[in-house]
């Protein structure tokens, strides 16, 4: 009796210690999670490798300018094509005069307090040639503009843009443009940065709340319990706190680069993975409670049985995501470790915190399942029996398959057993039909104005800028070449399609954007810089295509010349993304295939699972191509979209096949492969389907962020996970394994196993 009492005390202390440690992690990690936005880097130029041509060009171009600027362009336009009046033009000039004194809300101490403190020159007013608009150019200090000032979702650049928008909406007596009859927008690079930061601002709160809300509803339907869903959600939230704590400190110390996309994916991935792992543990725990009188014994057995599939799942995802370290782009390269940290946090919480929470209440711990409390099948049983024996069984004499009494999944298993070959052939053909549309998926890149799914000020302003200020570029393409090649470079640039003007940087600044330069060409270390204006805005895909043509023309007459600028950075980012797709995809396939071979002790089974999941990914991407083109009318996609989708879908999708096949292998040792695969499908069907729906719902939550990239990832991954769960794992894989039989385990000894 004393021994049992002290055993209970020790168990209680261990449970309290585990919960206490995780609560401490939650306290510190919650703060770090809320501060992740402050260590984000969303500047595309910072993601490029040092070897990119635009990066090298930017380093040389700095020699020709004392200060680099991040322009904010205020466009004021008359409605209905009317001409600007003298009073309206005077109001625009008064607005420009008031800009330097516009306060930056949220700054303090040594930080800038007005727009003038954050800019490098006085605002410049440029009337349009058609007389219908006026442009105010505010050149923010590029280095200062990206500095975080510690307030919510704020950088100096965003605060400056907010100040300009507030000033523009003020009454004319206060220096604003309200009441003048003009429509005004703040656009340009600074405007796009501010709108992008505002869109990502929802990641910290809205995205997480939507994801957790969706998961809570699903768990309530699955468990039909008022307690257990909150236990699982609490476990997921603390896992996210651990991941946020680690990622924050790594990003703050420049060990990795965190951007808004990575932060959003981290939140979704941790919540989805931790809930999936929890579903597996809880399902196995419930099974064991049907045959074991002690909750401690039942949970120990459940955790022991769950460790292998969960560890294999987590290891597969981590290995697949770490292949992103091969990327040329630091944004992709850092997503690998960021997401891997999240998966490890989910794994740790599922196997340490969740068991502790499930045992709260000691020998009465079954209360967490209330009102559907699992009852011991034989209350008098002293020795625990395997849960699979305790479960009701049904025998199908036609297929000679023993399947557990799990309702609809028993019937699905019996159906697959009777019609295995037609089932896998039909499902494979359906998936192949979807994959046939993969070549139509447009991943050549998009412009900044196309990444927003809602109306934003910067996009409206760019449209007005394009209507009235052709030939004016806030961020020209820069060509750095040898001084002796100057005339030839200028001529080649002017003859390039998509280019409207080319002029060398001189020793005297231009009086206004688009105005002809004065003075002599500036020569630095034998080099000259030529600023090239494209007909399309610098942040558009058309400008990137013009840069590609410009490089061909310039390199032909000056091989050592370097072409840079914002449009060139966009082009180099897209080229790096295409290269990453070609390099990383094969590596991910090989790595996951090797893991499957080790896990299943079989070459053939691993190859079949890998082929099934690649086919599933192809179907998801093909269907996405149709939906994006003909339903959502998306303008295209960034090259990183199929790369991210592939890494997530292949790594996460194979999880469900791992959950199934590890149980199938366990059952095959007793029953033989054909009976084992259907037993495994019957007993895991409910929990794996629930896990797939949860993960699909969490990724679908990314769609609440009104950005093209995240909306596309949300659809592809959510749809692909459902295909993996409901088609590949439920029909294709079990039917194929049942048709092949014991040979599926080749070359392992199990391939020669004969069921007793």
Q: What is the pLDDT of residues 527-544, one digit of tens each?
A: 999 989 888 877 788 888
User: Can you spell out the DSSP letters for 158-221?
Assistant: HHHHHHHHHHHTSBGGGT--BTTT-EEEEEHHHHHHHHHHHHHGGGTTHHHHHHHHHHHHHHHH
Question: How far is it, in rounded angstroms, from Cα 756 to Cα 752?
Answer: 13
pLDDT band at 89 (very low <50, low <70, confident <90, very high): very high
Span 483-498, pLDDT tens digits: 899 989 999 999 999 8
Parse the chain into domains and list their residue ranges: 1-34+204-391, 68-200, 392-457+577-756, 458-571
Name the residue with higher pLDDT: 23 or 508: 23
Lowest mean pLDDT among 253-257, 413-417, 493-497: 253-257
**Confidence label for 473 from pLDDT (cuts 50, 70 and 90):** low
Predicted pLDDT at 690: 87
What is the CATH T-level fold of the domain 392-457+577-756, as seen in this structure? Answer: Multidrug efflux transporter AcrB transmembrane fold (1.20.1640)
**Whole-number mean pLDDT of the chain?**
83
Longest dimension (CA), the chain: 100
Structure token pair of residue 333: 């390269």
Provide the 10 A C-beta neighbour count for residue 582: 9
Instruction: List Cβ neighbours of 10 (8 Å cut-off, separation of 6 or more).
Output: none
- Quick one: pLDDT at residue 388? 40
CATH 1.20.1640.10 correct for 1-34+204-391? yes
Considering only CA atoms, which of 210, 279, 262, 227 is closest in space to residue 41? 262
| pLDDT, position 752 | 58
Cα–Cα distances (Å) from 66 to 35, 507, 509, 513, in that order, read 34, 12, 11, 17
41-55, 676-690, 720-734: least confidently modelled range: 41-55
Position 718 scores a pLDDT of: 93
Kindly list the distances between the CA atom of residue 586 and the CA atoms of 546, 566, 643, in Å, as whole numbers in the listed order.
Answer: 32, 31, 11
Strands 499-504 and 527-534: antiparallel
Banded model confidence at residue 755, pLDDT cuts 50, 70, 90: very low
pLDDT tens digits, 307-350 = 888 888 888 889 988 998 898 888 788 888 999 999 999 999 99
Residue 382 pLDDT level (bands cut at 50, 70, 90): very low
End-to-end CA distance of the chain: 43
Give the model's pLDDT for residue 362. Answer: 61
What pLDDT does 204 receive? 64
CA distances from 384 to 22, 289, 433 (A): 31, 9, 49
Per-residue model confidence (pLDDT) at position 406 = 52
Q: Is the pLDDT of residue 390 over 50?
A: no
- Output the CA torsion 467→469→472→473 (10° steps): -40
Is the bond into 532 cis (omega within 30 degrees of 0)? no
Mean pLDDT (whole number) for 584-591: 91
With cut-offs at 50, 70 and 90, classify the pLDDT of residue 43. Answer: low
Q: How confident is the model at residue 439 (pLDDT cuts 50, 70, 90)?
A: very high
Residue range 625-648: average pLDDT? 89
CATH class of segment(s) 458-571: alpha beta
What average pLDDT does range 684-700 have in this prediction? 87
pLDDT at 153 exceeding the cut of 50: no
Give the pair of three-digit tokens for residue 389: 């024996």
pLDDT band for 751, please (50, 70, 90 cuts).
Answer: low
Identical fold, 1-34+204-391 and 392-457+577-756: yes
pLDDT band at 734 (very low <50, low <70, confident <90, very high): very high
Under the banding of pLDDT at 50, 70 and 90, the label for residue 405 is very low
Q: Across residues 673-690, what is the average pLDDT?
A: 87
pLDDT score recorded for residue 97:
92
Paired tokens of 278: 């929890």
* Structure-block tokens of residue 310: 């969960």
pLDDT over 90 at 616, yes or no = yes
Level-2 CATH architecture, domain 68-200? 2-Layer Sandwich (3.30)
User: Is the peptide bond preceding residue 371 cis, with omega within 30 degrees of 0?
Assistant: yes
Q: In the prediction, which pLDDT does 456 show?
A: 87
In the structure, what pLDDT confidence band is assigned to residue 389 with cuts at 50, 70 and 90? very low
Mean pLDDT of 606-629: 93
User: With a threshold of 0.75, does the pTM exceed it?
Assistant: yes
């Amino acid at each position: 009796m004393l021994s049992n009492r002290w055993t209970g005390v020790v168990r209680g202390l261990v449970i309290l210690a585990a919960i206490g440690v995780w609560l401490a992690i939650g306290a510190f990690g919650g703060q770090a999670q809320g501060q992740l936005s402050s260590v984000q880097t969303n500047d595309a130029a910072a993601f490029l490798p040092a070897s990119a041509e635009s990066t090298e060009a930017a380093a040389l171009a700095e020699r020709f300018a004392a200060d680099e600027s991040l322009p904010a362009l205020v466009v004021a336009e008359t409605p209905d094509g009317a001409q600007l009046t003298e009073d309206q033009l005077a109001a625009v000039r008064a607005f420009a005069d008031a800009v330097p004194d516009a306060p930056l809300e949220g700054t303090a101490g040594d930080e800038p307090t007005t727009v003038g403190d954050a800019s490098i020159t006085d605002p410049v007013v440029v009337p349009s040639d058609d007389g219908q608009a006026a442009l105010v150019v505010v050149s923010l200090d590029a280095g200062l503009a990206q500095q975080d000032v510690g307030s919510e979702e704020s950088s100096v650049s965003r605060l400056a843009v907010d100040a300009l928008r507030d000033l523009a909406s003020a009454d004319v007596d206060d220096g604003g443009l309200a009441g003048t009859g003009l429509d005004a927008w703040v656009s340009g690079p600074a405007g796009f940065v501010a709108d992008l930061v505002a869109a990502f601002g929802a990641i910290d709160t809205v995205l997480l709340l939507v994801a957790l809300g969706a998961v809570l509803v699903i768990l309530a339907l699955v468990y039909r319990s008022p307690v257990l869903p909150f236990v699982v959600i609490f476990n997921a939230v603390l896992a996210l706190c651990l991941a946020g704590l680690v990622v924050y400190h790594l990003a703050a110390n420049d060990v990795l680069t965190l951007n808004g996309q990575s932060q959003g994916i981290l939140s979704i991935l941790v919540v989805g993975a931790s809930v999936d792992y929890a579903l597996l543990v809880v399902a196995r725990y419930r099974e064991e409670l049907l045959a074991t009188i002690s909750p401690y014994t039942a949970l120990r057995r459940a955790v022991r049985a769950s460790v292998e599939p969960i560890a294999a799942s987590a290891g597969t995802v981590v290995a697949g995501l770490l292949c992103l370290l091969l990327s040329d782009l630091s944004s992709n390269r850092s997503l690998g470790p960021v997401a891997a940290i999240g998966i490890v946090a989910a794994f740790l919480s599922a196997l340490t915190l969740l068991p502790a929470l499930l045992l709260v209440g000691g020998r009465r711990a079954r209360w967490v399942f209330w009102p559907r409390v699992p009852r011991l099948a034989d209350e008098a049983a002293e020795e625990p029996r395997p849960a699979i024996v305790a479960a009701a069984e049904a025998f199908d004499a036609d297929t000679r398959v023993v399947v557990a009494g799990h309702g609809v999944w028993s019937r699905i298993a019996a159906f697959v057993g009777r019609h295995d070959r037609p089932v896998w052939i039909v499902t494979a053909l359906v998936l192949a039909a979807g994959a046939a549309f993969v070549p139509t998926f447009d991943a050549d890149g998009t412009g900044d104005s196309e990444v927003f799914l809602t109306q934003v000020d910067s996009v409206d302003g760019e449209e007005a800028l394009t209507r009235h200020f052709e030939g004016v570029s806030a961020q020209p393409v820069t060509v750095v070449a040898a001084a002796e090649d100057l005339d030839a470079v200028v001529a080649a640039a002017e003859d390039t399609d998509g280019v409207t003007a080319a002029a060398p940087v001189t020793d005297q600044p231009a009086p206004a954007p688009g105005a002809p330069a004065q003075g002599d060409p500036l020569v630095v270390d034998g080099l000259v810089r030529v600023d090239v204006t494209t007909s399309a805005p610098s942040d558009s895909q058309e400008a990137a295509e013009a840069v590609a043509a410009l490089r061909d023309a310039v390199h032909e007459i000056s091989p050592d010349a370097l072409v840079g600028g914002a449009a060139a950075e966009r082009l180099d980012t897209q080229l790096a993304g295409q290269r990453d797709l070609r390099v990383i995809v094969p590596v991910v396939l090989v790595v996951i295939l090797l893991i499957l071979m080790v896990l299943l002790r079989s070459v053939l089974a691993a190859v079949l699972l890998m082929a099934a999941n690649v086919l599933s990914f192809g179907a998801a991407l093909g269907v996405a191509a149709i939906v994006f083109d003909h339903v959502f009318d998306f303008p295209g996609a960034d090259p990183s979209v199929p790369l991210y989708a592939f890494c997530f879908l292949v790594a996460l999708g194979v999880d469900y096949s791992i959950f199934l096949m590890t149980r199938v292998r366990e059952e095959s040792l007793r029953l033989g492969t054909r009976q084992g695969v259907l037993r495994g499908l019957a007993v895991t069907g409910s929990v794996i389907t629930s896990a797939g729906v949860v993960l699909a719902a969490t990724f679908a939550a990314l769609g609440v962020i009104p950005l093209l990239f995240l909306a596309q990832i949300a659809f592809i991954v959510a749809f692909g996970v459902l295909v993996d769960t409901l088609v590949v794992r439920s029909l294709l894989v079990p039917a194929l394994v049942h048709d092949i039989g014991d040979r599926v385990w080749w070359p392992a000894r199990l391939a020669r196993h004969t069921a007793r």
